[in-house]
A and B are shown apart, each in its own frame.
Chain A
Amino acid sequence: MNYRKKISLVFLNLFFILICLLCLIPILYALGVSLNSRNDLLSSSFSFIPKDFTFQNYRAVLFEKPFLLWLKNSLILSFSTVVIAIAVAVPGAYALSRKRFPGRKPILNLLILLNAFPSILSMFAVYRILKPMGLVNNFTGLVLIYIGTMAIFGLWNMKGYFDTIPLEIEEAGKIDGADDFRLIRDIVLPLARPSIIVTAVMILIYVWNEYIFAVTFITGSEKYTLAAGLYALQATDYTRNWPIFSAASLLVSIPVLIIFFCVQRYMTSGLTAGGVKG
């Protein structure tokens, strides 16, 4: 490698270090604030490395707020949504990808058009239909909303990936006498793993981060999810206590960050084959 190339690589590395820092600033700042025991935000002497290191803010979030209860609610909601949504969407996506039947094309096109309607604008109407069914203010209603909102994404995303799996493999399975259920379980699911994992994670993250339906459809903070609880609190207590808000924010983000980076290697292939994003 010649001299000029080396110099430009040094500059390139500096550039990327700067970009990465810029990109992490809000997060690093929150981390610094949350670990600082002195509430000296108003002084202009803030530094990213806390002067008096403490976990007090984290302790306050975990034990003085209903954080653990909200965590439990978030876990219940997101896992039941993911399991049901995948169970509902995989057969549907399989049918759209592998079967040829009257109405297939219209359904596919209609789904794209329906997806154009911003889900937040349907909140009022959803409320009107779920209320008489007794599904307001309980988790079943929310799970239903989340599945419905993500179903089109799930169908299209997985259908797109199923399309890329060669038919011949299934043909072989069919000759061996496997029925659809076994074809899906033994052949399609293992081969389509990237798209199923990414779809599931996208749904999980959506539910984990969703606050506006949650605060609208749930009354009473004991049923809140983490997102709803944090959202409701920041408008009241946390504004005055920004270190605790930072601590709570980071605690809420950690599970999502871990999951996201675990599946990152599937992200490109699992998201782009279908050509739709949630």
Chain B
Amino acid sequence: MKQNKLRPYLYLTPSLIVIGLIVVFPILYTGYISFTNMNIYHWFNPRFIGFDNYAKAFFVFDSGFLSALLRTVLWTFLNMVLQMAVAYLIAVLLNTEGLRAHKVYKTILMFPWAMPGYVSILLWKMGMFNNEYGLLNQWLRKLGLNGVRWLDGNVSAFLSCTLVNLWLALPFMIMIIDGALQSIDKAYYESATLDGAGFFVKLRNITVPLVRPIIAPAVVITVFTTFKQFDIVYLLTQQQGSKTGADIHTVITYTYEKAFVTNNYGYSSAISMIIFLLLIFFSLYTNKELREGNR
């Protein structure tokens, strides 16, 4: 009987060892480094400096952290709103009665998800946004307009990144909303139509309440992945050797730069911990339905 009690732990041990090594240790170590001045000059003899790095992030205004944080919040919000609206529209239209080719359309729409992310982002960078031979500027020139330096200015680079993120993230959202829509019993709509309910009444009283609980976990997860999105901003504008001049750091690319470009490990660790705490608060706030264990 005793062996039986130990067995679950035995099953979990391999997982917990790897997670301990690759996830838990780095977090603890990052927490420790965040209180030191470890950087390229103090590599072997880091000194304990208390909360200085944290103070620098919050109170030294031109440290860039607060603006990166604000930008990340704006980025997350803008992307989620656009994504939900467009994905919802497409999913609803896909479910139109009589649309025979909907499976074909759905499969094609999944392509951006299936493509390797970094490949797509680089294809966008070189194929679409490139100043000379990018497709967007070729089209503009054909219309007799001047080409735009898409990735150079802050605003246009931010919008370009948003477009790419939308392109990359829509398939997952469409799939989730489409799945949720298909789970709704058609009888609800039929009886509502009999009662004389219009499109928006049905949307508000049937579709949204029924779809929301099904898609909620996926939406929460997408908020996280959008907040933590690194590849798009990094590959489009910050890549080593081909920076475009736009400063649209999100907190993740900002931290990455502080760690691996300017080698300020103490400071970057402090920001990592701040991001970690923010995300923990957010997940405690939203993930109540995921924090189960009673089933």
Contacts and interface: CB of A to CB of B under 8 A. Distances in A.
A9 B97 CA distance: 9
B99 A12 contact: yes
Interface string A85-113: 00111011011100101011101110111
A248 B221 CA distance: 32
B101 A13 contact: yes
B175 A267 contact: yes
Contacts of A12: 93, 96, 99
Contact of A152 (B19, B128, B275): B19
Contacts of B96: 9, 12
Interface string A242-254: 1001100100110
A148 B135 contact: no
Given A109-B293, A147-B18, A99 B287 contact: no
B290 interface: yes
B61 interface: no
Nearest to B6: A101
A113 B11 contact: no
A118 B293 contact: no
Contacts of A44: 138, 141-142
A120 interface: yes
Contacts of B122: 234, 245, 249
Given A46-B135, A230-B119, A242 B280 contact: no
B252 A121 contact: yes
A144 B15 contact: no
Contacts of A175: none
B276 interface: yes
B51 interface: no
B115 A92 contact: no
B111 A23 contact: yes
Interface residues of B, number: 95
B257 to A, nearest CB: 12
Given A105-B293, A117-B276, A260-B114, A92 B179 contact: no
A235 B295 CA distance: 50
A94 to B, nearest CB: 6
A26 B120 contact: yes
A29 B128 contact: yes
A66 interface: no
B22 A23 contact: no
Contacts of A29: 123, 127-128, 135
A25 interface: yes
Contacts of A155: 15
A46 B138 contact: yes
B218 interface: yes
A180 B33 CA distance: 43
B242 interface: yes
Interface stretch (A51-59, A186-194, A269-277): A269-277
A91 B128 CA distance: 46
Overall SS of chain A's interface:
helix
Interface string B107-127: 111111111111110111011
Given A46-B138, A101-B9, A20 B109 contact: yes
B30 A122 contact: yes
Contacts of B114: 253, 256-257, 260-261
Contacts of B21: 129, 144, 148
A89 B21 CA distance: 15
Interface in A163-188: 163, 180
Given A114-B23, A117-B23, A92 B127 contact: no
Interface string A59-103: 000000000000000000000000000011101101110010101
Contact of A95 (B8, B22, B24, B275): B8
Contact of A148 (B9, B22, B228): B22
Given A112-B283, A129-B21, A277-B221, A231 B118 contact: yes
A33 B127 contact: yes
Nearest to A103: B9
B77 interface: no
Nearest to A245: B126
Given A12-B96, A24-B111, A246 B116 contact: no
A278 to B, nearest CB: 9
What are the nearest 7 A-B pairs in CB distance? A148-B22, A122-B26, A125-B26, A116-B279, A260-B114, A275-B217, A92-B15
28 contacts: A5-B98, A20-B105, A23-B111, A25-B128, A26-B120, A26-B167, A41-B133, A88-B18, A94-B11, A96-B12, A107-B16, A108-B293, A114-B24, A117-B279, A120-B230, A121-B259, A126-B26, A129-B21, A147-B22, A148-B18, A180-B7, A209-B116, A216-B260, A235-B239, A252-B119, A257-B114, A257-B115, A277-B225
Given A13-B101, A123-B259, 9 more contacts: A26-B128, A41-B133, A92-B12, A122-B30, A129-B25, A129-B26, A246-B127, A253-B114, A256-B114
